[in-house]
Amino acid sequence: MKSGEGKFLHQEDIGDLFEILRGWLLDHILVEVMKMKDFFADRNKE
H runs (alpha helix) in 1-46: 11-45
Q: What is the pLDDT of residues 1-46, one digit of tens each?
A: 455 555 666 777 888 888 999 999 999 999 999 999 999 998 888 7
Instruction: Report d(CA 31, CA 37) in Å as an integer.
Output: 10
Decide: pTM greater than 0.75. no
